[in-house]
Each structure stands twice: as structure tokens, then as C-alpha cells.
């Protein structure tokens, strides 16, 4: 009942771990798969090891979290060990970031070699200079990166989009026109927290990204907008904490969803809880599969 498809990629369960939460080690990824996630998206991995930003990098706010981790990761070479542990246990999506189409292609080729079921291009981090959002708000650049990666690998190529733009649907169309297999929406909203006592920004990087319940309605709107113009599948993410949140994304047009911040609040059991509650809702309201619910809010 919970099976879904993102293009050719089949998932037994529609909820995935979003990039950046409980997905930096093989052991944590396995734990999430065993807790009812249909797949795990890895932490975004670059060509070289990266220490990330100096502390403080994370703080709680009303309605969620603001973080500016700065994409800390061990680099693609070292990540092989973690993939070797996780890949035999379930579907792992390799999230990658780079500064050019060439970087993304190299990383995607290696993720494919490591056994990733798909690659997710992080074109949307709001707090990494020269990466992420700075690339992901230019439809031409996005198109050239997606098309380069598509020619480099056989596995599906997903593009993760930023909500920090007024041309979201143009960017979605650029991904589709370049042959992208799916879009993932949304990454965090660019945000800032100021400490009144110190009279300065709280995060060392000044700016960060807002995640959690406060961004859910923005994410649902983004998926709905993308669903109005795209034929390729959409994966919804942003503020999902229970089955109702997940159902909103699916009905807006998402074939699957991802959860980040709520894992920090509720623990890995969130996946099992959503799976059980979703089945109950589907039985009560006469839906026989997730795919029957995709985009129904548009009708």
C-alpha cells in the first residue's frame, strides 16, 4: 500500500531521510532504514574533506532550527567506507555538491560506483559561498549541471531546489528540459538569528537556513507550484513531522517525501509512526496506493 515510484526508482515506503540528518555514517543510515525509511539521502558530499563553518552552527528558533553547518563532510574518497556499510541494507541516494558541472559529474560517477540508487544534486544550500543556492538560482547553470551529470551516469539524477527565489518553476523546468529525473523541494529558507545580548548575529556564518515546522506551508506551496508545470516526479521536503504533513506534500504533487528536522525532535521512530498512520488514513479514505494520492489537490 505504501509503495511508490520516483520515475523508475521504486520505494517500498514513501518517506526518506533528508540530506544532513542521521546520514553521515554507514551505521546511522542503516539504523534509519531499519526504522521504516524507504531510502536515505546521504549528507551532501564534496570532492575534498570539508570541516564546515566554525561554531556556533545551529540554534533552535520558534518553529524550527536555523543552521549554517557549512557542508561538513569527509570528502568522496573517505565516504566509500560508509556507503559500503549502508548500500547492502537498502536504497541510498548520494547527495553531492560542487562548484561546477565537472565537480558534480565526477562526484556522481563515484556515487554510482559506490552503489547509490540515485544522485541528488544539492543546488540549494543557503549558506555555502560559491556552492548550492548561488548555482541553483540560475536556470541556465542548473540546466548545464543537470545535463552534464545525466551524460556521466546511468542512475537517476535528482535536483534539490532552493525556495530562496521567485523563479522556482523556471528552475524546475530547466531541470526537466536538461533530462533530470526528479526535483526535490525544498531546502532551507535563508535566515538569520541575532543575539540581543551580544548585539550581533548568533551564527558564526551570520546567515543560515531555517528548517522544521515553520517552513512546511512554504514547501507545500513550492511542490504545488512545481506540480502545476512539471511532468517529472517531485519529492517533497520541509517541516514534515507527521502523516498529515506528508499527505499534504503528496496531494500537492509529491511522489515521495523526506524528513530532516523532525528526526532530531522525534527520533528515528517517526518513520514507522507515519507509515502506520498513513495506512490508516488511506484505508479510511479509500486510497489503495500512494500514487493514487499524488497531486489530487490539483483536481
Residues that bind ligand FMN (CB under 6 A): 18-21, 43-44, 65, 67, 69, 71, 95, 122, 125, 160, 187-188, 211-212, 215, 237-240, 259-262
Shorter beta-carbon distance to ligand FMN: residue 60 or 292: 60
The residue length of the chain stands at 299
Tell me the closest approach of the beta carbon of residue 109 to ligand FMN, in angstroms: 19
Closest to ligand FMN by CB, 171 vs 287, is 171
Toward ligand FMN, which CB reaches closer, 142 or 287?
A: 142
Q: Which of 66, 83, 125, 223 is catalytic?
A: 125
Least Cβ distance, residue 199 to ligand FMN (angstroms): 26
Q: How far is the CB of 299 from ligand FMN (least distance, A)?
A: 27
Q: Name the residue nearer to ligand FMN (CB basis): 247 or 287.
A: 247
Active-site annotation holds for 125: yes
Least distance CB 209 / ligand FMN (angstroms): 7
Q: Which residues are catalytic?
A: 125
Amino acid at each position: 500500500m505504501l509503495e511508490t515510484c520516483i520515475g523508475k526508482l521504486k520505494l517500498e515506503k514513501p518517506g526518506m531521510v533528508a540530506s544532513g540528518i542521521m546520514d553521515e555514517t554507514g551505521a546511522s543510515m542503516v539504523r534509519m532504514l531499519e526504522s521504516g525509511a524507504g531510502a536515505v539521502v546521504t549528507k551532501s558530499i564534496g570532492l575534498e574533506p570539508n570541516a564546515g563553518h566554525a561554531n556556533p552552527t545551529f540554534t533552535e528558533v520558534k518553529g524550527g532550527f536555523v543552521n549554517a553547518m557549512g557542508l561538513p563532510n569527509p570528502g568522496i574518497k573517505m565516504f566509500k567506507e560508509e556507503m559500503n556499510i549502508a548500500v547492502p541494507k537498502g536504497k541510498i541516494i548520494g547527495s553531492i555538491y560542487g562548484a561546477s558541472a565537472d565537480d558534480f559529474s565526477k562526484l556522481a560517477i563515484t556515487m554510482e560506483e559506490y552503489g547509490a540508487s540515485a544522485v541528488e544534486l544539492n543546488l540549494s544550500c543557503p549558506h555555502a559561498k560559491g556552492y548550492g543556492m548561488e548555482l541553483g538560482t540560475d536556470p541556465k547553470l542548473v540546466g548545464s549541471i543537470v545535463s552534464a551529470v545525466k551524460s556521466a551516469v546511468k542512475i537517476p539524477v535528482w535536483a534539490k531546489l532552493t525556495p530562496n527565489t521567485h523563479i522556482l518553476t523556471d528552475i524546475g523546468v530547466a531541470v526537466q528540459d536538461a533530462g533530470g529525473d526528479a526535483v526535490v523541494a525544498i531546502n532551507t529558507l535563508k535566515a538569520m538569528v541575532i543575539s540581543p545580548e551580544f548585539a550581533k548575529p548568533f551564527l558564526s556564518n551570520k546567515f543560515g537556513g531555517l528548517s522544521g515546522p515553520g517552513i512546511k506551508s512554504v514547501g507545500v506551496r513550492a511542490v504545488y507550484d512545481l506540480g502545476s508545470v512539471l511532468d517529472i516526479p517531485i519529492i517533497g521536503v520541509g517541516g514534515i513531522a507527521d502523516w498529515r504533513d506528508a499527505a499534504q506534500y503528496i496531494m500537492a504533487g509529491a511522489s515521495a517525501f523526506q524528513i530532516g528536522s523532525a528526526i532530531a525532535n522525534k527520533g528515528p521512530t517517526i518513520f514507522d509512526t507515519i507509515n502506520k498512520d498513513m495506512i490508516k488514513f488511506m484505508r479510511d479514505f479509500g486510497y489503495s496506493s500512494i500514487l493514487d494520492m499524488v497531486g489530487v489537490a490539483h483536481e
